[in-house]
Amino acid sequence: MDLRQRVFAAFRQRFGEVPEFFARAPGRVNLLGEHVDYNEGFVLPAAIDRDTLVAFRKSMSLHSTLLALDLDEETSFDCQTVLERQDLTGAELSVWARYPAGVMWSMNTAGLGTPGMEAVFASDVPRGAGLSSSASVEMAFGVAWEKLGSWTVAPIQMAKIGLKAENQYVGVNCGIMDQFASACGVKDRLLYLDCRSLEWRTVHLPEKAFIVIADTSIRRSLTGSAYNERHASCEEAVRILQDYLPGIRTLRDVHVDEFHRYASRLPIIVAKRAQHIVEEIARTEQAVELLNKNDVVRFGELMNACHASLRDLYEVSCPELDVMAALAQSLPGCYGARLTGAGFGGCTVNLVAGDAVEAFARDLAIGYTQKTGLKPEIYICRAADGAGTETG
């Protein structure tokens, strides 16, 4: 039974009627520009053809009842109880429920109506794998409430709504990349986003190259990880460097040569974190030029350099991610491989020649199991369109 059939059947069983609408929003994978979005840098993600799918209809009451099919858990809340992060019984909202509830809260603070809804949702975006499953949930419920509320915002504004929910309601100090990719994805294209101005354009992905995602099966909790510590280190670097570079606002404003001139003024750990950010922003800018020239080989080399930087400077890798990336880089047809997402577990993203992709996926899975004893999931993906709704 596919995802749509699952949520349709569960909705009919739970609510006794068929859903009026479906909302879908994709996960995302980032090819370059890791951890730079909250430093106002440049990122190069793509929405992928794995989604959160919501079957929904307008409720006859003012509250919303949501069934998380994958977890077999249900919650109900309204515009008042979400202010206290509580359900209708007064109990604290569970972690999963804070994502849709946070979107409701964020919309309400923007003056956007969120009518009560009955909804069932499920996802084939792996949770905790670095593929932005949380952003896909936020964007799916975002477009669902947009539909029920009979108002419209641009996709980039929907991304901002989701970002506010994640930052201020869920409590993760992420940047806008995840919500942006899920809201604004374009089929068969990469997305090049300036995280300061929010100007963006699409970039051609060479036809001979396929995106392969390799899930290590190692999971991490983003809110419980060192993600927020990395964010704080970047802010500390800016505060110190402003004494020498008074015109900077974020690490995006620091050129590579400037950083190395003043790096010794920073605490050792802070300098390592900042070096990754400054050099990663430069890599991403260079990568777009290479893609425009169809130079996929050099683009892959930048992906490999990114992984080394995330491993050694930003220190967000783990042994399993390192094994997966090294194996991929050694296989025929692989242009580049690196961890993707916040790190501390999750997935690698690999750019692979089309005529080698099937053998690559097979050999990567076999080699990873031999080295770790773990069974990975390998996904051959296509870039997909962003969030939207359709009639049930």
Letter for the amino acid at 253? D
Structure tokens at 350: 């690999």
Distances (CA, A) of 380 to 116, 204, 260, 358: 38, 18, 39, 9
**What proportions of the chain, in percent to the nearest 5, are helix, strand and coil?**
45, 25, 35
Residue 283: count other Cβ atoms within 10 Å of its Cβ.
23
CA distance 182 to 26: 5
Structure tokens at 217: 């099966």
* Residues catalogued as catalytic: 178
CA distance 133 to 128: 7
Contact yes or no for 190/210 (Cβ under 8 A): no
Strands (E), 69-188: 73-77, 117-123
Strands (E), 33-129: 42-58, 64-68, 73-77, 117-123
